[in-house]
Amino acid sequence: MLSYFPHMLCLILAVLLAPVMPSVTQAQVIKSGPPSCPGVALTFDLCPVRNGAGYDQALIDYLIEQKIPATFFMSGKWMTKHDRQVRALLEIPFFEVGTHGDVHAHMPLHSADEQKQEMLGPVRLLKSQYGHEAMLFRPPYGEFDDVTVNVARALGLQFILWNVVSGDPDPTITALQIEAHLKRAVKRGSVIVMHANGKGRHTHEVVQDLHQHLLPQRNLTAMTVSDLLACRQAAP
Ligand SMILES: [Zn+2]
């Protein structure tokens, strides 16, 4: 009796505790939509840039011309340099705008209060300057800890990651390589991360390929993140 009691206790504790710790956090971090949904989300980060235009005009023009729903994650620092572009993106009814930190900080290196300020920077800017209520947050570099998840939840922000990496800022890969990777990785409910700040290599080309070939071949429709999560087809 005495010998197996501690084992029993351990077993009970393991059963009770094991699923609790990770799932609390994991449940809040959204990487994809419902696997039954015939949609994918094309998402574009607008991280701050030191050099260059910081905006892929040709890509945005293509998305607008082709009426392709897309989601943009804007950093505060990027917004302060791109007022005209922020307004242009907010005007498009089939675009969704979320936030991507203020100065593109490495979240886990910061205290809860610093993380909160980093998260709130662009949320406040979108609200005060543009009257836009941002509901989505994507952590810079995709880096986060439990504090990040809890702060986002306390602020009422949906925590959006991705499950397909385009790798578009990598100068060593070609459009064909990105397309081949997407062909393998994209499926129902996928959230694809790309860049619209001009740092994406071949992003425009890859989006053309997705729109003209890969998505129609698989009967997949591009949706904003919120529409994908609800699996809602946008009105034509
Ligand atoms: Zn970024």
16 assigned to some structural domain: no
Flag whether pLDDT at 1 surpasses 90: no
The rounded Å distance from CA 46 to ligand 1 centre is: 6
Range of the domain at 72: 22-230
In a domain, 9, yes or no: no
How many whole angstroms from 7 Cα to the centroid of ligand 1? 47
For 199-213, what is each residue's pLDDT tens digit?
A: 998 999 999 999 999
Q: What is the pLDDT of residues 36-74, one digit of tens each?
A: 999 999 999 999 999 899 999 999 999 999 999 999 999
Task: Report d(CA 75, CA 50) in Å as an integer.
Answer: 13
Residue 159: per-residue pLDDT? 98
24 pLDDT more than 60: no
pLDDT at 185 exceeding the cut of 80: yes
Mean pLDDT of the 135-151 span: 97
* pLDDT tens for each residue of 93-117: 999 999 999 999 999 999 999 999 9
Please give the residue that has the higher pLDDT: either 169 or 19: 169
**Distance in angstroms (rounded) separating the CA atoms of residues 42 and 174:** 19
Domain CATH for 161: 3.20.20.370
150 part of a folded domain: yes
- The Cα 182–Cα 163 span in angstroms is 11
Residue-by-residue DSSP string for 9-69: HHHHHHHHHTTHHHHHHHTTEE----TT-SEEEEEEEE---SSS-S--HHHHHHHHHTT--
Give ion ligand 1 contacts, CB < 5 A.
45, 47, 140
- What distance in angstroms lies between residue 112's CA and the mean position of ligand 1's atoms? 20
- Separation of CA 88 and ligand 1 centre (Å): 20
Say if residue 6's pLDDT is above 80: no
Q: With respect to residue 125, please indicate whether it lies within any of the assigned structural domains.
A: yes
Q: Compute the distance from residue 133 Cα to the ligand 1 centre, in Å.
A: 20
- If you measure from the C-alpha of residue 4 to the centroid of ligand 1, how many angstroms do you get, rounded to a whole number? 52
- Nearest 5°: phi and psi at 193? -95, 130
Pairwise CA distance, residues 62 & 70, whole Å: 11
Kindly state the average pLDDT of the residues 24-35: 83
Greatest CA separation for the chain: 74
Give a yes or no: residue 123 inside a domain.
yes
Q: Which pLDDT value is given to residue 143?
A: 97
C-beta separation of 195 from 169 below 8 A: yes
Query: Residue 3 pLDDT more than 60?
Result: no
Q: What is the pLDDT of residue 11?
A: 46
The pLDDT confidence band at residue 232, using thresholds 50, 70 and 90, is confident
pLDDT of residue 235: 55
Measured CA to CA, the distance from residue 61 to residue 33 in angstroms comes to 26
H helices of 131-201, in order, are 146-154, 175-185
Task: Say how many domains are in the chain.
Answer: 1
C-alpha dist (Å) from residue 118 to 6, 14, 218 = 46, 36, 39
Q: Find the mean pLDDT for residues 19-25.
A: 48
Residue identified by tokens 């543009």 is 130
Cα–chain-centroid distance for residue 11? 38
Residues 64 and 32: their CA atoms lie apart, in Å, by 24
Going by C-alpha positions, the residue among 73, 76, 79 that lies closest to residue 117 is 76
> Please, which pLDDT band fits residue 21 given cuts at 50, 70 and 90?
very low
* d(CA 140, ligand 1 centre) in Å: 5
Q: How far is the CA of 100 from the centre of ligand 1 (A)?
A: 7
Q: What percent of the chain has pLDDT over 70?
A: 87
In a domain, 11, yes or no: no
What is the pLDDT averaged over residues 141-168?
96
Average pLDDT, the chain: 91
Would 54 be classed as within a structural domain? yes
* Amino acid symbol at 57: Q
Across the range 134-162, mean pLDDT stands at: 97
**Helix spans in 36-111 (H):** 57-65, 76-81, 83-91
